[in-house]
Chain A
Amino acid sequence: DGGITQSPKYLFRKEGQNVTLSCEQNLNHDAMYWYRQDPGQGLRLIYYSQIVNDFQKGDIAEGYSVSREKKESFPLTVTSAQKNPTAFYLCASSVGTGSQPQHFGDGTRLSIL
């Protein structure tokens, strides 16, 4: 089946630790995105990539980093600089950045130990 796979589903981070969230898509989409979802708030954009080897900061990029070495993969690293990392993280992809829907994975829930 075509889709977006995020792993792991649950992740725990210790103080001072970097953790990496995986996102893989087999939809042949050029654009990929990372969002953060907190209770009662709309999705907030962390980073996005319109094409391989290129990515841009979103609205809340501080404390996060990404890479886009392959079209299918867009991993997100939550660094120790992110002081409030507890959230539900969603990866999405779309054909392009025009008027096409973004399709989402099932998320990773990150908590602090």
Chain B
Amino acid sequence: GESVGLHLPTLSVQEGDNSIINCAYSNSASDYFIWYKQESGKGPQFIIDIRSNMDKRQGQRVTVLLNKTVKHLSLQIAATQPGDSAVYFCAEKTPVGATNKLIFGTGTLLAVQP
């Protein structure tokens, strides 16, 4: 799910199918991860988060899976709806000196076909 240049990777799914969006994170010391949804012209909207002491967390229609061995995060959306169409990106919280920093991925465009 990482983008190259100006072109976001796109995941196209049929309405009602399940969607899986992937994210590779950079720092093995990162201990907190967030998924955001961003619709065109709007700010990112918090979906779900997970701490590094967990490998799975479920919300309403969404599940986040964390694989620390390969530094991989995924977001699963069940029964995808047209309103789910948006750019999804992950963020990792990583220690920087005495503070923390959120590093954001570039995103994946989810296109839901009716």
How many A residues have CB within 8 A of the partner chain?
Answer: 24
Cβ A106 vs Cβ B42 within 8 A: yes
Q: How far is the CA of A99 from the CA of B102 in the complex (A)?
A: 10
Name B1-54 residues within 8 Å CB distance of A.
3, 5-8, 31-32, 34, 36, 41-46, 49, 51
Q: How far is the CB of A100 from chain B (nearest CB, A)?
A: 8
Instruction: Determine whether B100 belongs to the interface, using a CB cutoff of 8 Å to chain A.
Output: yes
Q: How far is the CA of A72 from the CA of B77 in the complex (A)?
A: 34
B residues sitting closer than 8 Å to A (CB atoms) are 3, 5-8, 31-32, 34, 36, 41-46, 49, 51, 89, 91, 93, 99-107
A residues sitting closer than 8 Å to B (CB atoms) are 4, 6, 35, 39-43, 45, 50, 56, 90, 92, 97-99, 101-107, 109
